[in-house]
Amino acid sequence: MEGYSRNGEISPKLLHLIPQGTRRNWFHDDQASVYNTEEKKLELKLGPPGEDEHEDGSSMLRHIKKEPKDKSTLSLAGKHFSPSSTTNKPTSQKRTAPGPVVGWPPVRSFRKNLANGSSSKLGNDSTSNAVVLKNQKCDDDNGRAMTMEPKRQGGLFVKINMYGVPIGRKVDLNSHNSYAQLSFTVDKLFRGLLAAQRESFGEEEKPITGLLDGNGEYTLTYEDSEGDKMLVGDVPWHMFVSSVKRLRVIKTSKISSALTYGNGKQEKMRS
């Protein structure tokens, strides 16, 4: 949330999924003035996804904790919390990263998933994209096929939205073989729309570059099958394709906040 001071680590779970080897230079680049000191404390850890899962699924809330109640650091809220005479005992507060506020805004999980719905997603969310509607046992007397036909043969369409452009598009990942190709497609899809949004006075449309390396004004991110938000380009292409559910082009300056809004686990209460 704007105005919320974030001191502390970003949820470690999200960063588990970014292999240490390909750590981005600009994450720790002191020259990058866009990032404040908090982001520099980010530690990229290596670990398998779901490492922190508890059986009862209660891990979701562990990762998204409110910041400690140290009143002096709450910039906006600070005015309205009366200074507490009893001090907080940091040790007894087992809270970690500030991150997004749990359960805010008060919108049910069912609604939060809306914008994320990729049309190819039917059945359990944990199903990877490659196994859609496969091997369905059909007891139908007439032997008629199950309801939904698979999407156009061989096509893997995921939604893609871009910051600043109200219209979303769809990308067929199966017709791409590499991140470079994808980046090119994104540029093609959005260059004109973006130019139309900005009131460029007779300027030519600017190409959208630097989507993958953090150098551009925009960066390509994606949401995986578990709802986590990640930077595009870190994992091998085929791994990416099998887990990506949705793409987003965000402003490079908004990276840290965008990635911490990974409320995916909250919605998957039963997975």
Partner 1 sequence: MNKALKFPMNYFPEEVIEHIFDFIASHRDRNSISLVSKSWHKIERYSRHQVFIGNCYAISPERLIRRFPCLRSLTLKGKPHFADFNLVPHEWGGFLHPWIDALSKARVGLEELRLKRMVVSDESLELLSRSFVSFKSLVLVSCDGFTTDGLASIAANCRNLRELDLQENEIDDHRGQWLNCFPDSCTTLVSLNFACLKGEINLSALERLVARSTNLKSLKVNRAVPLDGLTRLMSCAPQLVDLGVGCYENEAEPESFASLMAAIKKCTLLRSLSGFSEVASVCLTAFYPICENLTSLNLSYAAEIQGNHLIEFVQFCKRLQLLWILDSIGDKGLEVVASSCKELQELRVFPSDPHDEEDNNTAVTEVGLVAISAGCPKLHSILYFCKQMTNEALITVAKNCPNFIRFRLCILEPNKPDHITSQSLDEGFGAIVQSCKGLRRLSVSGLLTDKVFLYIGMYAEQLEMLSIAFAGDTDKGMLYVLNGCKKLRKLEIRDSPFGNAALLADVGKYETMRSLWMSSCEVTLGGCKRLARNAPWLNVEIINENENENGRMERNEEDEREKVDRLYLYRTVVGTRKDAPPCVTIL
* Residues forming the site for partner 1 (CB under 8 A): 1-4, 56-58, 60-62, 66, 69, 76-77, 80-82, 84, 86, 88-89, 92-94, 100-112, 114-115, 117, 119, 122-125, 133, 136, 138-142, 144, 146-148, 151, 161, 163-166, 248, 250, 258, 261, 263, 266, 269-270
Residue closer to partner 1, measured from CB, 86 or 178: 86
Q: In angstroms, how far apart are the furthest CA atoms of the chain?
A: 74
* Shortest Cβ 68–partner 1 spacing (Å): 10
Q: Which is nearer to partner 1, 19 or 117 (CB)?
A: 117
Q: CA-CA-CA-CA torsion for 207, 209, 211, 213, nearest 10 degrees? A: 180
User: Closest separation between CB of residue 217 and partner 1, Å?
Assistant: 13
- We find the least distance from the C-beta atom of residue 83 to partner 1, in angstroms, to be 10
Nearer to partner 1, 46 or 269 (CB): 269
Q: Provide the minimum distance between the beta carbon of 21 and partner 1 in the complex, in angstroms, as a whole number.
A: 28
Q: Considering the complex, state which of residue 138 and residue 239 has its C-beta at the smaller distance from partner 1.
A: 138
Give the total residue count for the chain.
271
- Phi and psi (nearest 5°) for 36? -90, 180
Contacts for 8 with CB less than 8 Å, ≥ 6 apart: 38, 41, 67, 96, 97, 98
The pairing of beta strand 244-251 with beta strand 218-224: antiparallel
- Closest contact distance (angstroms) between CB of 235 and partner 1 is 22
DSSP 8-class letter at 174 = G
Distance, first Cα to last Cα, the chain: 27
Instruction: Kindly state the smallest distance separating residue 184's Cβ from partner 1, in Å.
Output: 23
**Amino acid, res. 140:** D
Using DSSP's 3-state secondary structure scheme, residue 255 falls into: helix
In the complex with partner 1, which residue's Cβ is closer, 148 or 180? 148
Residue 115 or 180: which CB sits closer to partner 1? Answer: 115
**Residue 190 · residue 162 · CB < 8 Å:** yes
